[in-house]
Structure 1
Amino acid sequence: MNCKHNIYSIRLVFLLFLVSGSLTAQQLTKEEAIRLTLENNFGILIATNTIEVAKNNKGVLNSGYLPSLVASGGANYQSASSNTSFQGAINPNTGQPREDIEINDAETQRYNAGLDLNYTLFDGLGRYYNYKRLKEQYNLSELQARETIENTMLQLFSVYYEVARLSENEEILKETLQISRERVTRSGYQFEYGQNTKLNVLNAQVDVANDSINLLNTRQQLVNTKRDLNVILDNDLEKGFEVDTIVKFIPKITLDEYLEQSSENNVTLLQNQSSLKISDYDIKVSKSGYLPTIGLSGSYGWNENRNPPSAFFPGNVGDTYTLAAGVNLTWNLFDGGGTITRVKNAKIALDNQEILKRQVVKEVERDIANALGNYKNRLNVYKIQQQNVVTNQNNFERSQERFKLGQITSIEFRQAQINLILARTNKNAAKYDAKIAELQLLQLTGQLLNIAF
């Protein structure tokens, strides 16, 4: 009876485990994961904003080709009191000393307004090359954003396929647990009828406990990895979902085409080429300091003066309108060597970019060769693991039949079961390792964002 009680307790506990794991959730397809990542991922959103800044910088409003128009205006007010004495002068009309003239609170008002227009006709081609530099900077920002998206996609599928691997392992461990539970039941009946020893029952119960622990640990890893994926997608951390466990590999002929075009599409090489162009423009912008600057200027102004009466003149109001235009030329014949220094430094920067290009080309070639080797190796491992599963499945089924007939011990049966578990989980790991290796190779060839997942 004590054995039956243990069996029933084990059944009840693992029935709860199986029920909790059987609740289905909405499937998160690869396409939906990509869409959510592109829309919500924090790194991609920041990269998108960086592109917008570069786009604003390359616009005509930041080019220096537009004129400047400045409006100005002002008003002044003055109040003054004065007293004018004539120091003994005689008024010819009365023959008496001339009286002092006193003026109180005499108001003087002045108003002005004007428009000043300035336009640079020629600045030694500095703004021309700077405008082209800003456009190339925008292209570089797009390439940097593309690199961010590629890295995020690789991160996404690394986590997505880890969820898939753990999900498949969970199913394997659930099946294993079910078989172990049946073994406990069978061993219990055999013990009751004297066909087995208590040791076999205890061994079966130990195996159930180990299988349950493996299942619990795998489920916890799965929950944690799903949270990692929800962070990438900017989903609620506890949002539940299932993933697609089907993996398709790119045909070899297509992959060979991608490899041939890798030098034209690799994002690191493209960024280096863009940086070279920017460095070349920096030299030309610096050289513009050797040439003169020619500009146009124009102005329109209005002034009004309201003067109070004085001792000798009556008050008056004067309005003045002015219109002026001019051409100016400035030529900095020597600026203390600043332009010469800037040109030299810009040439050194270009030389550094050339050196960096040679280094980057070598590194990319190495990375592609390593990634291709890893991919081929992991594909071969996956094929071997597939065959290994078939072999261990046959071995397990035969061992199961012989165990039921009492021809092998429980230890031998358990070993066949463990071998099958390892073969199936290793096959899952090999499958997703090969797919991740393929994605890494596609990133290096510049095709990661051009394929259908």
Structure 2
Amino acid sequence: MPSSTLALKIIPVLRSFSFIVLLLAPLLALAQQRPVKPNPGDQLAKPATVAPAPALSLEEAIRLGLENNYGIRIAQRDERIATNNVTRGNAGQLPTVNGNFTRNYTINNVRQESSARPDPSIATGARSNQLNTNVALTWTVFDGLGMFIAYDRLRTLELQQQQITRNTVEQTVANITDAYFAVVRESGRIRAFEEALKIGQARIDLTQARVNVGVAAKVELLTAQVDFNADRAALIQQQEALATAKVNLNNLLARKPETDLAPADSIVVNRDLRKDAVVTGIVQRNPQLQVARLGVDVANYDRRLVTASRFPQVGLTSGYGLNRNVNGAAFFGSALVTNTGRTQGFNYGVVATVPIFDGFNRRRLEQNARINIEQSQLQLEQTQLDLNSQAEQAYLQYQNRLQTLDLEEANIQLARQNVAITLERYRLGLLTPLALREAQRNQIDAENRLLDARFNAKQAETTLRQLSGELVQQAPQAK
């Protein structure tokens, strides 16, 4: 074949190849660009879309709660009242001394008639006055030992109120801990949505480039923008959830609801809790169980007080008194005179009261006291059973949530890797937008499940520590 003829056939082929190269050149250049890879970093790091706020650690939050929480402050004042009631005088062991003072004035019109005198004796506006003052002492020296029983009962009530305060403190600390880590969790969710927006923006950029070279329809770009806006809306809702969590924490700390904060601590779960240690802690330190035990002691003291009332009561009385009467309407014969009388002196004596019959009321009270003892014992057993059941359930949750946490920590790595690969394949045109969106949703779900797993595991740990009495070793002093 002549060379001229061959050249005429090759030229159209070269022109077609050049056109194809020119058409694919932007796409090939896009494929050579540096890939956009997800970089979530620390899941519990500070979100970029949240305004800076003063840092607050969990220790500081608990300190503020112990100082300011209204429930704790009310319980502390109840404890102070119980402490003030523990006195010998309140138990009836000390004498009582009372002073009395009376001063009376009278103005009388007097008319006296006598058969020995023909004319009546009349006094108009006669003034009289009376003065009476005394100091009286009473002291019960024997009442069937009831006064000593009453004192021991007051001390037991004080111990019971101390345990009630401790229980209030531990419950408040548990609530503060949960509320604090709820803020940490909601912050982490914002981080997840921020990462989703980065991926969504990368998807929009890649889709726009593919539309520009004519290998993708504009509908794909519109779909990417719609999905991006949906993620932005979810981020706005999550910011509201974070603000609500902060308000709840501030409420427990007795601070203004609008007080902003940034959690300084992340969720770290203690994996070393043992079931036998929790059960031992319940028996030895749990305040609810201690309150129930002391309730049985109070019921026994009540029964002993009823028994003591059956014995005679012996008391001493003593006093010093002054009585003066000035009578301005006294007649001596027919003459009106003023009569003055004065009495003063010391008195003392012994008073004994012997109960003989009171309509069987003491027997009724004693029967009720015995029933109250039985009731208190039943409440103690019920409390013990409830706490053991709570411990069994809480420890089971603790173990399961630790396993779930391990699974989600491994799963989040797979989800992040899957998004990175999917985004790269989408950049090369090997996957559809639907597959990228599905991988993106899977990562968001995995991020949220990991946050929930951390929070739930920490919550189970807090519950176990509260049940075992280890959450607060010593209740704060009343203020």
User: What's the TM-score bracket when you normalise by the shorter of the two chains?
Assistant: 0.7 to 0.9
Q: Report the CA distance between 1:276 and its aligned residue.
A: 0.5
Q: Report the CA distance between 1:105 and its aligned residue.
A: 5.0
Q: Deviations over 1:24-72 (max 9, x none)?
A: 1112211221122222222222222222222232234422222222211
Question: Which of these residues, 115, 122, 140, is aligned with residue 120 of structure 1?
Answer: 140
The residue identity in structure 2 corresponding to 1:374 is Q
- Partner in structure 1 of residue 299 of structure 2: 279
Q: Tell me the distance in 2 between the aligned counterparts of 1:372 and 1:334.
A: 58
Question: Which of these residues, 409, 434, 443, is aligned with residue 386 of structure 1?
Answer: 409
- Helix, strand or coil for the counterpart of 2:331? coil
Q: Report the CA distance between 1:262 and its aligned residue.
A: 2.3
Contact 2:95 2:138 in 1 (8 A): yes
Q: Report the CA distance between 1:292 and its aligned residue.
A: 0.6
Pair 1:143–1:82, CA change in 2 (3 A): closer
1:234 aligns with 2:254: yes
Q: Deviations over 1:161-216 (max 9, x none)?
A: 22111100101101210221122122112211223221321221122022112111
Q: Tell me the distance in 1 between the aligned counterparts of 2:315 and 2:222.
A: 98
Pair 1:83–1:384, CA change in 2 (3 A): closer
Deviates further, 78-87 or 37-46: 78-87
Contact 2:422 2:436 in 1 (8 A): yes
Q: Tell me the distance in 1 between the aligned counterparts of 2:274 and 2:386.
A: 23
Pair 1:311–1:186, CA change in 2 (3 A): same
Pair 1:38–1:84, CA change in 2 (3 A): closer
- Helix, strand or coil for the counterpart of 1:447? coil
- Partner in structure 2 of residue 193 of structure 1: 213
Q: Tell me the distance in 2 between the aligned counterparts of 1:329 and 1:196.
A: 109
1:46 aligns with 2:74: yes
- Partner in structure 1 of residue 56 of structure 2: 28
- Helix, strand or coil for the counterpart of 1:21? coil
Q: Tell me the distance in 2 between the aligned counterparts of 1:238 and 1:296.
A: 65
- Partner in structure 2 of residue 131 of structure 1: 151
Q: Tell me the distance in 2 between the aligned counterparts of 1:430 and 1:81.
A: 96
Contact 1:231 1:237 in 2 (8 A): yes
Question: Which of these residues, 83, 100, 105, is aligned with residue 77 of structure 1?
Answer: 105
The residue identity in structure 2 corresponding to 1:164 is V
Question: Which of these residues, 37, 59, 65, is aligned with residue 65 of structure 2?
Answer: 37
Equivalences for residues 401-440 of structure 1 within 5 A: 401-440=424-463
Q: Tell me the distance in 2 between the aligned counterparts of 1:199 and 1:87.
A: 135
Q: Report the CA distance between 1:155 and its aligned residue.
A: 2.1
Pair 1:329–1:24, CA change in 2 (3 A): same
Pair 1:303–1:247, CA change in 2 (3 A): same
- Partner in structure 1 of residue 10 of structure 2: none
- Helix, strand or coil for the counterpart of 2:408? helix
Q: Tell me the distance in 2 between the aligned counterparts of 1:191 and 1:82.
A: 126
The residue identity in structure 2 corresponding to 1:159 is A
Q: Tell me the distance in 2 between the aligned counterparts of 1:222 and 1:26.
A: 15
Q: Tell me the distance in 1 between the aligned counterparts of 2:223 and 2:125.
A: 117
- Partner in structure 1 of residue 87 of structure 2: 59
Equivalences for residues 6-17 of structure 1 within 5 A: none
- Partner in structure 2 of residue 4 of structure 1: none
The residue identity in structure 1 corresponding to 2:420 is E
- Partner in structure 2 of residue 5 of structure 1: none
- Partner in structure 2 of residue 147 of structure 1: 167
Contact 1:165 1:245 in 2 (8 A): no
Pair 1:116–1:201, CA change in 2 (3 A): same
Contact 1:56 1:62 in 2 (8 A): no
Pair 1:448–1:19, CA change in 2 (3 A): closer
Pair 1:189–1:260, CA change in 2 (3 A): same
Pair 1:102–1:449, CA change in 2 (3 A): closer
Q: Tell me the distance in 2 between the aligned counterparts of 1:88 and 1:390.
A: 127
Q: Report the CA distance between 1:149 and its aligned residue.
A: 2.2
1:327 aligns with 2:350: yes
Contact 1:80 1:107 in 2 (8 A): yes
Q: Report the CA distance between 1:360 and its aligned residue.
A: 2.4
The residue identity in structure 2 corresponding to 1:310 is F
Aligned length: 426
Q: Report the CA distance between 1:354 and its aligned residue.
A: 1.9
Pair 1:317–1:153, CA change in 2 (3 A): same
Pair 1:318–1:185, CA change in 2 (3 A): same
The residue identity in structure 2 corresponding to 1:369 is E
Q: Report the CA distance between 1:147 and its aligned residue.
A: 1.9
Q: Report the CA distance between 1:348 and its aligned residue.
A: 1.2
Q: Report the CA distance between 1:316 and its aligned residue.
A: 5.2
Contact 1:258 1:447 in 2 (8 A): no
Q: Report the CA distance between 1:357 and its aligned residue.
A: 2.4
Q: Tell me the distance in 2 between the aligned counterparts of 1:365 and 1:235.
A: 36
Pair 1:410–1:323, CA change in 2 (3 A): same
Deviates further, 252-261 or 368-377: 252-261
The residue identity in structure 2 corresponding to 1:418 is R
Equivalences for residues 262-273 of structure 1 within 5 A: 262-273=282-293
- Partner in structure 2 of residue 177 of structure 1: 197
Question: Which of these residues, 251, 260, 264, is aligned with residue 280 of structure 2?
Answer: 260
- Partner in structure 2 of residue 3 of structure 1: none
- Helix, strand or coil for the counterpart of 1:163? helix
Question: Which of these residues, 226, 230, 233, is aligned with residue 213 of structure 1?
Answer: 233
Pair 1:247–1:282, CA change in 2 (3 A): same
Deviates further, 76-85 or 64-73: 76-85
Pair 1:200–1:245, CA change in 2 (3 A): farther
Contact 1:123 1:291 in 2 (8 A): yes
Q: Tell me the distance in 1 between the aligned counterparts of 2:110 and 2:385.
A: 89
- Helix, strand or coil for the counterpart of 2:472? helix
Percent identical residues: 28
Q: Report the CA distance between 1:120 and its aligned residue.
A: 0.8
- Helix, strand or coil for the counterpart of 1:261? helix
1:311 aligns with 2:318: no
The residue identity in structure 2 corresponding to 1:217 is Q
Question: Which of these residues, 347, 371, 375, is aligned with residue 348 of structure 1?
Answer: 371
1:448 aligns with 2:476: no
Q: Tell me the distance in 1 between the aligned counterparts of 2:110 and 2:212.
A: 132
- CA RMSD between the two structures: 2.7
Equivalences for residues 293-312 of structure 1 within 5 A: 293-308=313-328, 310-312=331-333
The residue identity in structure 2 corresponding to 1:244 is A
Contact 1:101 1:311 in 2 (8 A): no
TM-score normalised over the length of structure 2 = 0.82
Q: Tell me the distance in 2 between the aligned counterparts of 1:116 and 1:223.
A: 67
